[in-house]
């Protein structure tokens, strides 16, 4: 379940960087919670092709996050907002800047 949440969050951030066909398949799998077989039947492609698209898309999302750190930085910003300790806030903001 945690994996689904993680990739849904990354998808919401980076979806505009993914081609339309892959977005559709990924959205059905992670967003609509359809099985690979259901997606294959709907899109008239093989189940293995669906698996490849999902795998490549998750790898691409991981790559974008590794380079851009938008999700990670959003978490740090949330942590800073909820902190009452000025030193902790400074430490978090320094992490984001670097």
pLDDT at 29 over 90: yes
Per-residue pLDDT of 48-94, as tens digits, reads 999 999 999 999 999 999 999 999 988 888 888 877 888 787 787 77
| 3-class SS of residue 74 | helix
Q: Please, which contacts does 25-30 make with residues 24 or more away whose CB atoms are closer than 8 Å?
A: 25/50, 25/53, 25/54, 25/57, 26/53, 26/54, 26/57, 29/54, 30/4
Domains of the chain and any CATH numbers: 2-97 (1.10.10.10)
Q: Which residues contact 46 (CB under 8 A, 6 or more apart)?
A: 40
């Amino acid at each position: 379940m945690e994996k689904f949440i993680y990739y849904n969050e990354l998808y919401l951030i980076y979806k505009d960087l993914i081609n339309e066909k892959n977005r559709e398949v990924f959205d059905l799998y992670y967003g609509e919670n359809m099985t690979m077989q259901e997606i294959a039947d709907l899109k008239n492609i093989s189940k293995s092709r669906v698996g490849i698209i999902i795998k490549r898309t998750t790898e691409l999302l991981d790559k974008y996050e590794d380079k851009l750190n938008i999700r990670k930085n959003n978490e740090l910003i949330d942590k800073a907002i909820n902190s009452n300790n000025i030193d902790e806030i400074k430490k978090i903001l320094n992490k984001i800047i670097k």
